[in-house]
Structure 1
């Protein structure tokens, strides 16, 4: 059995989960070894573009209740804050706004605080040094027990350089050298959505960061224009238990469908538990039965290729005429998520992402 801390980072674009769904996911995954939950949906404007403003009273109340429920279950609760491009001008006005925001977040009851510099312009001189200063400033003012940083360049994938500007030379090395060793750093791997993580890759990144990376695993997330027409349900592969000594923890970024996300999440726990004895199909079958029940799990397995291989845009009229009434006949939240997906309710456009 590999010893690794598992968690969930709700870091997708698109319609956020309901509060009831969040509690349900935490309650299901806690017995499988998931020990932290990070609230950071991209669609929460009070964590991103409007971060200077406090959360509405109702949202703050729900967050406090979720924090309390996590603690009851032995799960760490945290929030991911994206102070949008604050490193461009971290002067007195920005500092005052950030101090107020940290006080508001502390009131929620935080075990973890993540400062997310992802998906922002990064081709700026002194980027790493500016971010180090900001994070250390935050560390002196937050009551959270663990501080995590998502770098502007959180993967080797060159798509970030094309979209957000060429990464500064030695950015990771400078960030790692500057940050206090107690601060964790997120990493998504060789790609934004990595197909696998190897011990050698993670060891190299660990040397650059001067600490073990905390994996932000973009599976089974399905939140972009290209991914939202798919349901990622298969068991985890490409994450061998042998990577456990190379990472600080392993956080899963779930899909837009909370109930269905529990299926692959459970298989990841099985992969670490079973090591070389892990079989991803058998793990999927067991997790699907646990989450969906016998009959619905059997139906989902029968359509797994259509859900994850073909996707919504390649389903035929015949596929739709058979599948929709089949799943509409089940009184189960997982089946309702499938029906909504078939109806196009989870599609995400590029315009929606750019507006976030």
Structure 2
């Protein structure tokens, strides 16, 4: 018989498998090719063995029909001709010279393709079912018999015993249909646990003592039945902590009786989450009398109740799986009286769920898992809060499972991931969770993510490209710090290379992605889940394309075209930010897409346009701190005290927020307004205000401590380009900066007509084309609008920008050093640029024509301004 040829040995090799068959997921532990192959015959015989069940056989039969088999016949012996498939029969591997599964752990399997047969042999029934899922992936999709399938030997097993999902988020609940669909997905991806803990099920928490109405119990039974068919442990999680009296006989009995009703419909795995409750306030006086007060008392009381459940229910029900619990201190590995009591008094076979170091742990290491095992002194099942977004409801978290160290699954009883409010959109991240939990040694987040997108796109390249672009724009999370990494790299490439054609193509693909996904994505639930984000993506792509065209027009000397495009941006940005969905409480939730990447590109494009126009001095900001959600640095420079920059962590000594004034200029008053209602301690508790001309050498303006609002005035004649607020000590609170203001004194603006409400004369000369001076009336005869230039200097050009539709008429004049005004030209539509031959001037003005309409001026740009 043909020998097996090792390809990569026991270490998983997704690329190797891809050379002989479609990618297998999760990545197998060992894949070997064979020199022979089998042919899908018109009639295929399926022979079942001791580790097969109906679910596995159905997956096999369906896969065979998709591969071209016209008849699939079940029999107790191989067929007289054609292909035979052995399901759950390890002895049949002997003909292929392949070792059986006896040495594998639970859920392991061997799949052999060759020697005229296919053999699926699991360590147990679940293993055989997983072999069937692997066969489903490697068989081709053909319309007729005759397909030839390369010989293959897969030897595979999971990296940890429990792998799956805990539906434990707050917010809009999943539908019953979505839960059923999720269970199908888990089975296909070799995940074997689903913890039913939806916060919307009142009978799990607030009404935990009450019996389910019949219709709700029927739905749970349907879920449990579907889970069993997919080899998924349906875990029922009852959360009594809001009202339980731990010492109460009645409550212990109520808990056991509630579990019994769930047992009676077929559930065999149970959990008692005690998270998100107060454990220092008892629900009954009897508990305080029995255990006293404090964390240690709470741990002892919880252990007492759980041990009763373990003894009176789990131990008395043969077939029940080990009890699971979520401790109240579920988010760290620090020793505490609570953990000590729980570790010493809780029955040793109870599984403890733990979220890592942090509620949403950016990283999780082998050392941390070992520390959790030590401090709780119980087996650890992770409740990994990814890709859950109930704390960031304006985002889809579509990046891969990352930050989890290789070797971690081997330290755990299992891994459960808490998904998003959006069930179908969660599948992209859950694909990678399943891949990591099964075979962490082979896991690469980006590779797994790409394979998951390919599978979810149904194999269509254009849909896959669209899905990748959309998922990239919704990538960042606590686990994946970089937002839109592929799009950000394209923007960086553009600024370095100037390759506008390439970026135009990228943005075109991003803009067309929503339509492509709506038309071509097989899972329509994803389209419904992601609808407002899809809309926002299309709108952001439109704005980014406009910004790109603006820059290219400006660089090509097409100033009027660039200004016309620039004026389109505000409405496009408003549209991009307008998309919402309705949350559980009825409020509209604005969605974020590509934040920190798409918006920054538009900002950078406007800054480049400013540079080409000759505008200077528009401040920008930077920091070494992270940003919480959409509370970006630009918000502390927008002149609106109700918006703010908000860090995503506490500042350490040396951390700073810095304002770049765009050029060296005089600085006078400096105002730093920190903290906000609801976060009154989020300010730099001890720090200094400093200034610098070069960003390297700094001088102190003032020190401050213990106050959120800081105002100081620099000595007369102080010049700087940079001003920063720097922490001089670490702190526990995060940082909010509402406004960081360094007003410019670049010459007085005088004249008229007076500005309308909400506008100002200075808006015509403030170096920001986004602000507009709007006159309250038409100009009177001889009326002018004038700005001094502080000091006389050479002026190579003057550019006047008007909003589209403005029909104001005026002469443009410069004042020479002799005090006389000279006309250099007249307003000519929205964009007027005049070459002034470098003449020396100390002021510029607009002399309004009689009968002119009420003026509107976006900016008067005097080149050489510095």
Match of 1:154 among 323, 326, 330: 330
Report if the CA contact (8 A) 1:292-1:334 is conserved. Answer: no
Match of 1:338 among 514, 522, 530: 530
Match of 2:609? none
Determine the C-alpha separation between the residues in 2 that align with 1:19 and 1:263. 20
Match of 1:45? 202
Rg larger in 1 or in 2? 2
Displacement after TM superposition at 1:348 (Å): 5.8
Determine the C-alpha separation between the residues in 1 that align with 2:413 and 2:246. 31
Report if the CA contact (8 A) 2:274-2:326 is conserved. Answer: yes
Cα-to-partner distance string for 1:97-135 (whole Å, 9 max, x where unaligned) = 324322222223222111010010022521011001111
Match of 1:116? 273
Q: Please give the secondary structure, in 1, of the residue aligned with 2:193.
A: strand
Q: Which has the higher contact order (CA 8 A, sep 6+)?
A: 1
Q: TM-score, normalised by structure 1?
A: 0.84
Matched, 1:192 2:359: yes
Matched, 1:138 2:301: no
Determine the C-alpha separation between the residues in 1 that align with 2:351 and 2:423. 26
Determine the C-alpha separation between the residues in 1 that align with 2:359 and 2:216. 30
Determine the C-alpha separation between the residues in 2 that align with 1:322 and 1:290. 20
Match of 2:173? 16
Determine the C-alpha separation between the residues in 1 that align with 2:202 and 2:438. 37
Report if the CA contact (8 A) 2:186-2:230 is conserved. Answer: no
Question: Which structure 2 residues correspond to residues 27-66 of structure 1 after superposition, within 5 A?
Answer: 27-66=184-223
- The 1:88–1:45 alpha-carbon spacing in structure 2 relative to 1, beyond 3 Å, is same
Determine the C-alpha separation between the residues in 1 that align with 2:182 and 2:246. 38
Q: How many residues align?
A: 334
In structure 1, runs of 5+ residues without a counterpart are 159-167, 312-319, 352-356
Mean Cα deviation higher: 246-255 or 12-21: 12-21
Determine the C-alpha separation between the residues in 1 that align with 2:586 and 2:348. 37
Mean Cα deviation higher: 325-334 or 293-302: 325-334
Displacement after TM superposition at 1:92 (Å): 3.7
Q: Please give the secondary structure, in 1, of the residue aligned with 2:339.
A: helix
Match of 2:159? 3
Determine the C-alpha separation between the residues in 2 that align with 1:347 and 1:35. 31
Cα-to-partner distance string for 1:257-292 (whole Å, 9 max, x where unaligned) = 111212211212323455444322221121122123
Displacement after TM superposition at 1:305 (Å): 4.1
Question: Which structure 2 residues correspond to residues 1-356 of structure 1 after superposition, within 5 A?
Answer: 1=29, 3-4=159-160, 5-88=162-245, 90-123=247-280, 125=293, 126-139=297-310, 140-142=312-314, 143=317, 144-156=320-332, 169-224=336-391, 227-293=392-458, 294=460, 295-309=462-476, 327-330=517-520, 332-339=524-531, 344-345=580-581, 347=583
Displacement after TM superposition at 1:181 (Å): 1.3
Displacement after TM superposition at 1:239 (Å): 1.6
Report if the CA contact (8 A) 1:12-1:221 is conserved. Answer: yes
Displacement after TM superposition at 1:219 (Å): 0.2
Determine the C-alpha separation between the residues in 2 that align with 1:281 and 1:238. 12
Determine the C-alpha separation between the residues in 2 that align with 1:350 and 1:206. 42
Mean Cα deviation higher: 61-70 or 267-276: 267-276
Determine the C-alpha separation between the residues in 2 that align with 1:102 and 1:11. 19
Determine the C-alpha separation between the residues in 1 that align with 2:418 and 2:219. 21
Determine the C-alpha separation between the residues in 1 that align with 2:188 and 2:514. 32
Displacement after TM superposition at 1:12 (Å): 0.8
Displacement after TM superposition at 1:145 (Å): 2.3
Determine the C-alpha separation between the residues in 2 that align with 1:275 and 1:72. 26
Determine the C-alpha separation between the residues in 2 that align with 1:89 and 1:222. 32
Q: Please give the secondary structure, in 2, of the residue aligned with 1:192.
A: coil
Mean Cα deviation higher: 32-41 or 263-272: 263-272
Q: TM-score, normalised by structure 2?
A: 0.36
Instruction: Point out the structure with the larger strand share.
Output: 2
Q: Please give the secondary structure, in 2, of the residue aligned with 1:259.
A: coil
Determine the C-alpha separation between the residues in 2 that align with 1:289 and 1:59. 37
Displacement after TM superposition at 1:341 (Å): 5.3
Instruction: Point out the structure with the larger helix share.
Output: 1
Q: Please give the secondary structure, in 2, of the residue aligned with 1:149.
A: strand
Report if the CA contact (8 A) 1:233-1:261 is conserved. Answer: yes
Displacement after TM superposition at 1:182 (Å): 1.1
Displacement after TM superposition at 1:321 (Å): 8.6
Alignment root-mean-square deviation, CA: 2.9
